[in-house]
Amino acid sequence: MNYRHAFHAGNHADVLKHAVLLFCLDALKKKPAPFAVLDTHAGRGFYDFQSEEAARSPEWQDGISRLWTWPEPPPLIARYLDAVRSFNADGTLRTYPGSPVLATANLRDDDVLIACELHPEEHAALKRALPRQANVQVHARDGWEALGALLPPPQRRGLVLIDPPYEAPDELTNSARALGPTLKRFGHGVYLWWRPLKSESALNAADAEARAQGAKETLRADLWVAQPSPEGRLVGSSVFLINPPFGLRDALKVALPFLAEALTKGQSGWRLK
Ligand SMILES: C[S@@+](CC[C@H](N)C(=O)[O-])C[C@H]1O[C@@H](n2cnc3c(N)ncnc32)[C@H](O)[C@@H]1O
């Protein structure tokens, strides 16, 4: 487990993932019944853009930083920027909230977050980052194992964020396969599965596997800021949603071309399917 999200926080991939995450949370809150969020690979919670990691790998400067003072971004992105602004009260972008922090800030009293983080240092940081409250649970637990052990949640509704580091070469296929038993137990949950975009054919194969495992209602959004290639730096990402909330496709139709232009480093583009 060498992956540290601090080197990547706030990059183009986080912008897409976290904007979609917030849309999903807002959609779940449209109904009064409480829900649960399972964040299987939660990270450390907060990221400091003045840290050594961010200085060595300032991906955020070509990510959220380019959007920070944009006059009128599309609603999906405006909502995301407002959420990040709430952690940067003086208006200077320095603190970046990761997925468990964004989720916690957007829960109601009866909604629950279960965040799993296996790396000991990241887990300790996450425990410090999140408030001590009954509806926020942090586990030093394997996220894959949590999918089996913690679903369906007692609330019977909710969101599952699957955001592994993809350090192992077979992690994409294994993630798709993990959906099978999970969907059997919690088929009507909203799933947000993040994937690196290095090869379109690899993602198409992962989508086919996810469908074979029982994913029926799906939406995939890809964003790349330069031409993707199997080797080299990550220049694109893909979010695959199962049971996507109403309105997300339309919101992405506006947001993706905006992001492709605003974050471009060459041959940028997007895809929605
Ligand atoms: C991409 S980062 C998570 C970023 C976070 N979801 C966000 O959006 O802010 C992946 C995290 O998964 C952790 N991790 C790796 N393997 C894991 C496992 N089997 N179970 C839980 N966490 C794991 C890594 O330590 C890393 O912090």
CATH number of the domain where residue 96 is located: 3.40.50.150
Residue to mutate (ligand 1; options 5, 116, 142, 145; most atoms within 8 A of CB): 5
How many other C-beta atoms are found inside a 10 Å radius of the C-beta of residue 86?
Answer: 11
CB of 3 sitting under 6 A from ligand 1:
yes
What single DSSP character describes residue 266? S
CB of 126 sitting under 6 A from ligand 1:
no
What does pTM read for this prediction?
Answer: 0.98
Ligand 1 atom 26: residue of nearest CA? 43
pLDDT value of position 11 = 98
Tell me the residue type at 175.
S
pLDDT value of position 119 = 97
153 within 8 A of 107, measured Cβ to Cβ: no
Pairing assessment for the beta strands 158-162 and 190-196 based on DSSP bridges: parallel
Helices within the chain (DSSP H only): 12-28, 52-56, 64-67, 75-85, 99-105, 120-129, 143-150, 171-185, 200-212, 248-262
* Of 43, 78, 76, the residue nearest 253 (C-alpha): 76
pLDDT value of position 231 = 84
Ligand 1 atom 8: residue of nearest CA? 99
pLDDT value of position 267 = 95
Task: Tell how many helices (H) and how many strands (E) occur in the chain.
Answer: 10, 10
The list of the chain residues with pLDDT below 70 reads: none
Q: Over the range 1-24, which residues count as b (16 or more CB within 10 Å of their CB) and which as e?
A: eeebbbebbbbbbbbbbbbbbbbb
CA distance 264 to 267: 7
CA distance 20 to 56: 27
**Gyration radius (Cα) of the chain, Å:** 17
135 within 8 A of 11, measured Cβ to Cβ: no
pLDDT value of position 148 = 95
Range of the domain at 88: 5-272
* Of 23, 69, 50, the residue nearest 251 (C-alpha): 23
What single DSSP character describes residue 244? P
* Of 223, 167, 214, 222, the residue nearest 191 (C-alpha): 214
Q: What total number of domains does the chain contain?
A: 1
CA distance 52 to 267: 30
Ligand 1 atom 18: residue of nearest CA? 142
